[in-house]
């Protein structure tokens, strides 16, 4: 009897032992994504590449023959998949944004930093759609909505998700912020005066403080209204400018980029705004197009792809991006926005970079995200195929080295 029990115990333990062995050795936070076609975005695609992830960062990227999988790394088999950096949305209103607070017509004192909602339904949607970084900015109800924040779409605490604050200053010209009845802001003249005026005030404030910091003069009075504008003049972050239509974009470029020498990103850039491409080229200004995708010219009856037109009229391929303006286009459709841009003439390679490394460059966060390089954040998405093909789906989304979405675990959402 005793022998029988001993035997039974031994037999039943054996499979356990066999299972426990390697599991015990697996290191927390260490992943090896193997077998997929890796698109590092800083070089050509690697067939059957390996991406090693450790402690939230990318440890190494290489071909299977060159790079070995260290012991204890959890292997994610990406055979038949594309391994692509998580996508970056350059213009979003769901991550941390109340759309409007109309304190004044221009509100450089407002910020969305305090509204971040981690793991909200919207953020889970973003993860399931392969979007890992957002520039979440205020709406365009005023000419200056306030300061946006760049966040990751997965994480438990605000500090964990914030990539940078301020992410960008939201400026909106014409259209949405227009007032009526002859009030200030009923026309472009008044709206542009307000934008220019507050920026000039901010510039004066910045210059006074810069002088003081260099040891000249008295300390100026602190003014919270202008404090965040200082980083703008130091070039630490850009203005995301809601601008579209030929003459409005022209004023954006001349007033903000040329005269005030601000770093700006043309957000939307829709309708016939792309006619300004030569000026944008001259000033080195990038364009993040969307949510509209094309413009039907009344002159020649062509559908002009917007991103494509900025591109083909000379804007350098690393200064072209696409956005959703989520929730205007649902967040998970960021790659579909790019698909539509491609359909209307944007080269696929430009689109892929525009959602990854070039978007990161436009937001000046390319040291952290946008490509699969050692030392960068492990924001990695496994796609079943061409990410722009509506028929392809996301299998796994990793944000900061954590599996934020796994179709097998969570059920396929999109």
> In three state form, how does the secondary structure of 53-99 look?
EECCEEEEEEECCCCCCCCCCEEEECCCCEEEECEEEEEECCCCCCC
Q: Which of 328, 402, 403, 410 binds another protein (CB under 8 A)?
A: 328
Binding part of the chain for another protein, among 75-83, 143-151, 341-349, 367-375 by CB under 8 A, reads 341-349
**Does residue 263 interact with another protein by CB under 8 A?**
no
Of 81-89, 120-128, 360-368, 373-381, the segment contacting another protein by CB under 8 A is: 120-128
The reply on whether position 187 binds another protein by CB under 8 A is no
CB of 288 vs another protein, minimal distance in Å: 16
Do 88 and 355 touch, CB atoms closer than 8 A?
A: yes
Indicate whether 350 belongs to the interface with another protein (CB under 8 A).
Answer: yes
Q: How many CB atoms neighbour CB 157 within 10 A? A: 9
Q: Which of residues 373-402 bind another protein (CB under 8 A)?
A: 388-393
**What's the rounded Cα separation, in Å, for the pair 205 and 220?**
8
Phi-psi region for residue 256, left (φ > 0), alpha (ψ -120 to 50) or beta?
alpha
Q: Which two tokens stand for residue 263?
A: 């770093």
Nearer to another protein, 158 or 327 (CB): 327
CB-CB contact of 309 with 269 (8 Å): no
The yes or no reply on residue 218 touching another protein (CB under 8 A) is no
Piece in contact with another protein (CB under 8 A), picked from 27-35, 172-180, 295-303, 361-369? 295-303
Minimum CB distance to another protein, residue 371 (Å): 11
Peptide bond into 392 cis (omega under 30): no
175 or 327, CB closer to another protein? 327
Bridge partners of 138, per DSSP, are: none
> 102 Cβ partners below 8 Å, 6+ apart?
141, 142
Binding region for another protein (CB under 8 A)? 44-45, 94, 121-122, 125, 246, 272, 275, 278, 291-297, 299-305, 308-309, 312-314, 317-318, 326-331, 336, 339-340, 342-345, 347-350, 352-353, 388-393, 412-414
């Amino acid at each position: 009897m005793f022998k029988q029990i001993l035997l039974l115990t031994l037999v039943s333990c054996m499979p356990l032992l066999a299972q426990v062995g390697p599991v015990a050795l697996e290191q927390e936070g260490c992943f090896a994504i193997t077998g997929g076609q890796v698109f590092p975005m800083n070089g050509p695609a690697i067939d059957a590449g390996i991406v090693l992830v450790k402690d939230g960062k990318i440890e190494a990227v290489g071909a299977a023959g060159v790079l070995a999988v260290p012991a204890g790394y959890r292997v994610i088999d990406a055979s038949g998949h594309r391994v692509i950096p998580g996508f970056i949305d350059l213009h979003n209103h769901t991550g941390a944004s109340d759309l409007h607070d109309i304190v004044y017509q221009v509100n450089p004192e407002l910020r969305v930093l305090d509204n971040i909602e981690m793991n909200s339904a919207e953020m889970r949607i973003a993860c399931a759609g392969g979007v890992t970084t957002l520039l979440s900015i205020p709406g365009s109800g005023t000419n200056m909505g306030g300061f946006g924040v760049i966040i990751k779409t997965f994480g438990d605490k605000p500090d964990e998700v914030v990539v940078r604050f301020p992410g960008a200053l939201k400026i909106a010209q014409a259209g949405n912020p227009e007032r009526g009845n002859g009030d200030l802001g009923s026309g472009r003249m008044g709206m542009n005066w307000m934008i220019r005026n507050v920026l000039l005030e901010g510039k004066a404030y910045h210059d006074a403080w810069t002088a003081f910091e260099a040891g000249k003069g008295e300390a100026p009075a602190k003014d919270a209204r202008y404090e965040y504008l200082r980083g703008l003049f130091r070039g630490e972050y850009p203005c995301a400018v809601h601008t579209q239509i030929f003459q409005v974009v022209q004023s954006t470029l001349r007033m903000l980029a040329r005269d005030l020498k601000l770093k700006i990103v043309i957000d939307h850039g829709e309708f016939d705004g792309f006619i300004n491409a030569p000026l944008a080229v001259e000033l080195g200004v990038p364009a993040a197009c969307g949510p509209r995708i094309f413009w039907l010219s009344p002159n020649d009856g062509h559908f002009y792809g917007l991103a494509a037109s900025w591109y083909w009229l000379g804007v350098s391929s690393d200064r072209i991006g696409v956005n959703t303006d989520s929730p205007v286009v649902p967040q998970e459709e960021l790659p579909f926005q790019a698909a539509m841009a491609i359909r209307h003439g944007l080269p696929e390679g430009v689109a892929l970079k525009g959602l990854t490394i070039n978007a990161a460059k436009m937001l000046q966060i390319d040291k952290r995200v946008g490509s699969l390089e050692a030392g960068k954040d492990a924001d990695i998405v496994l796609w079943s195929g061409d990410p722009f093909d509506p028929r392809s789906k996301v299998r796994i989304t990793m944000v900061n080295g954590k599996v934020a979405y796994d179709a097998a675990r969570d059920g396929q959402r999109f």
